Amino acid sequence: MINPRYILLLFSLLLIVGCKNDIKPADTNRVTDKTIQPSEQKETTEPPATEEEFPEAVEPIKIADDIAAKWVELSEKDGFTVDVRYATTHNFTKKKIYDCGKCYLHPEASENLIKVQQDLQKRFGYSIKLFDCYRPRAYQQRLWDAVPDPDYVTPPQKGSMHSRGLAVDLTIVDKDGKELDMGTPYDFFGEEAHYSYNHSDAVKRNRWILKSTMEKYGFKGIRTEWWHFSYRSVSYPLDEWIWPCD
């Protein structure tokens, strides 16, 4: 007779072996739906995301030295006579300071100077002769090197309204291009150039026409130089830009 304990032991062994056969090894080569093997990645042919998918674009940077927007050249086509003395030796330093003679101002100043020109032409048949306009800091340095005297030249580190593109030196000419008598030549640094000097009535009248018309359009003169005027309704820093020579 077989011992029941042996029968129970044999049954247990058979049960364990059967369970092991039901367990299959994991498929190590299997790829889940969420995994992409590097070798299986493909280049996308879809178009880039639209603007709506990005934050609102930042406003483009405005270039400060945009010449067309920042400077306006005044020339014969505007009715002016241009005689930039510092581009010649015909000035108080007797030296050529500028590489070439052109007249540039900031838009606000140039716009109002054109109005002065139109006003003079309409009322008197006169026009403007330009002696000096914007003066780059490098040219201001040359001027100072030629005459290092603050009584005559503004030190470069301080800068003048010319170097800010807001000052102009000028006179008036008649319909034949002849300069009106202002009592002294341009760049004459003596008492006779002062507004307070007791000139003839004709000189006083000519200076009054120039001064009153310039002031009408926002320019201010100085008491010691009848030819110098600055447009002071706006402000600009000292500038380095130098106009090109043709």
Q: Which residues are catalytic?
A: 225
Residue type, 123: R
Rg (CA), the chain: 42
* 121 three-class SS: helix
The tokens for 24 are 């299959």
Alpha-helical (H) ranges within 2-132 are 4-22, 67-70, 107-124
Beta carbons within 10 angstroms of residue 72's beta carbon = 22
Distance (Å, whole) CA 8 – CA 12 = 6
Distance (Å, whole) CA 175 – CA 244 = 31
